[in-house]
A = this chain, B = another copy of it.
Amino acid sequence: MPRFEKIEYKPIPVSELLLEMKNLSELMIDLAYSAALFNDKELAEDVIELEERVDTLAYLLDMEIMIAARDAEDAESLIGVSTVAAATDKISDAAADIAAIVTQNIGVHPIVSSIFEQVEERLIKSTVKEGSELAGKRIDELDLAAEMGLDIIAIRRNKDWFINPKGNERLLHGDVVITRGAPHGIKDFKDFAEGIPSKVEG
């Protein structure tokens, strides 16, 4: 199956590709466990989608490395880079395997849930709806850690993912926000993001 037929080669720095692969693979593990624990299909589907993105990045990175290596010495020094990239790819595959339990309705066995009993935090996905008070706000203005005991760990804006966004990032209408925190805090945040607008009429 030609999985990569639509990938166009664009020169992107290897460090940028590798950093994105690392960040995505770590996010995917968190998302996958949370999806399995709460049987959350939406999160699971995000993981599957991200796995394709990591595959694409891996492909682009392999190309960049080949182009960069002019001789045996270059190649030798780049082996470490290629190994780390392959490892992040393997991690993202593992996350997708976990997510597939949810998307394929295999069902989450109580044993799987039991290993999370000690985990007090969960991940949730919210969309910043039109009229939400969150739209246009900077993350640090919201003071989420203090107010609701939670963190924004990723934002998806159209096709782009921003992992561990900085405090000066503004939330925009339409953003999909992945939040980590105590169950009641993240539920409040979801209501806040998606609830009926309180300050906007019409």
Measuring CB to CB, which residues of chain A are less than 8 angstroms from any residue of chain B? 14-15, 18-19, 22, 26, 29, 32-33, 36, 76-81, 83-84, 86-88, 90-91, 93-95, 97-98, 100-101, 106-109, 111-112, 114-115
State which of B33, B79, B91, B107 has its C-beta within 8 Å of the C-beta of A106.
B79
Copies in the complex: 2
Cross-chain contact B15 with A115 (CB below 8 angstroms): yes
State which of B15, B91, B115 has its C-beta within 8 Å of the C-beta of A94.
B91
Count chain B CB atoms within 10 A of each CB in A36, A100, A112 and give the residue with the most: A112
Cross-chain contact B94 with A88 (CB below 8 angstroms): yes
Question: Which chain B residue shows the least CB distance to A108?
Answer: B80
Tell me the bound Cα distance from A80 to B101 in angstroms: 6
Residues of B within 8 A of A19 (CB): 114-115
Cross-chain contact B98 with A87 (CB below 8 angstroms): yes
Q: 24 A–B contact pairs at CB < 8 A?
A: A15-B114, A18-B115, A19-B114, A19-B115, A22-B115, A32-B87, A36-B80, A36-B84, A76-B106, A77-B109, A78-B109, A79-B101, A80-B106, A80-B107, A84-B98, A86-B94, A87-B94, A87-B95, A87-B98, A88-B94, A90-B91, A90-B94, A91-B91, A94-B94
Interface of A is mostly: helix
Cross-chain contact B111 with A15 (CB below 8 angstroms): yes
Residues of B within 8 A of A84 (CB): 36, 98, 101, 112
Tell me the bound Cα distance from A190 to B94 in angstroms: 34
Residues of B within 8 A of A32 (CB): 87
Count chain B CB atoms within 10 A of each CB in A76, A83, A107, A114 and give the residue with the most: A83
Shortest A176–chain B CB gap in Å is: 23
Question: Which chain B residue shows the least CB distance to A99?
Answer: B87
Tell me the bound Cα distance from A111 to B65 in angstroms: 11
Residues of B within 8 A of A78 (CB): 109
Cross-chain contact A77 with B14 (CB below 8 angstroms): no
